[in-house]
A and B are shown apart, each in its own frame.
Chain A
Amino acid sequence: MSFVFWILAAITVAGGLAAVTLKNTVHCALALTAAFAGLALMFLELDAQFAGFAQILVYIGAVAILLVFAILLTRGAEEKTEKSVFSRTWFTGLVIAAAVFAVLAWAVLHSGAALPDHAGLPGPAPQVTVAQIGNALMGRYVLPLEIVALLLTAAMIGAVLVAMHEKGEPK
């Protein structure tokens, strides 16, 4: 497609590859941040501005930092040279991933026959204003909104409880 799209796709896929193959865990987290940024830009390319900015704010601003904190707290950043970074069962995992990719790619490439004629061509870019998103959130999607709020509260309380120091245990 367009030139910008290929650059963004290259950044995202390279970031993803680096995130799962690098030896140093903190480097993996930073490569993941680059992949998130590439994805946010792809959202912007798809005219989904709200999703793109939410992706930057939530993923890069919070999830990436959370990952980095967890890596530092669990001493994942120290160099361990005697064992490989891949698990014993790495070959099976790779085969499964390749199989899944093959199925997905086949589905994507062969789906042209199943869709109606006008699919695959970009329609006019939807002019999504934030007012429309607000109306949608409060009108059509109010139930998912409330459930997500409940879920976030439960997740917050759960994370604090799980990671809290128990009484009497040495820190």
Chain B
Amino acid sequence: MKILEKTICTLSDIAKWIGMAVIMIMMLITTVSVVFRYLGITFIGAVEIVQLTLVTAIMFGLAYTHRENGHISIGLLVDHFPMKIQYVFDIIANVLTLFVCLLFSWFFFQAGMKEVTGIVTKTDLLAIPKYPFKFVISIGLLLWGLEAILKIVVSVINFGKNSPTNLQASKELDEI
């Protein structure tokens, strides 16, 4: 179990660092393209690079956001239930998240594979193939799903022990 947790956390961390880097790149590329424009230099493909960095930042941010409980949910009703019942709702919410993530990840894996084995679509100016970024979406969603699995495990453990639900996955899993 520890290995599973460590693997998921490492993968999410790698995604997080890539996400952080591309946000910085997005800022620099856009700023440089503005400066270049006023210097009379054309920065060909700046928009395309920003588009591809945006999709990378979004998809690689999803899993980390889930780990940090950053995805907004409304606890108005469930927060008033006994803790055991709350764990059950947490498990349901994470199972649904897992289902959506795996389904969509599969959609994008197929879409990427379709291009790898067929016609490769490319961006208009820089002719960058789009399929690697379809795999990025697939990986990002898969990682989000994996983080949901960790949360399910934590909720199941908490359900058995009646301990606080907001404990970090690592602390709980260490005890397994």
Partners in one complex: no
Q: List residues of chain A with CB under 8 Å of any chain B CB.
A: none
Q: List residues of chain B with CB under 8 Å of any chain A CB.
A: none
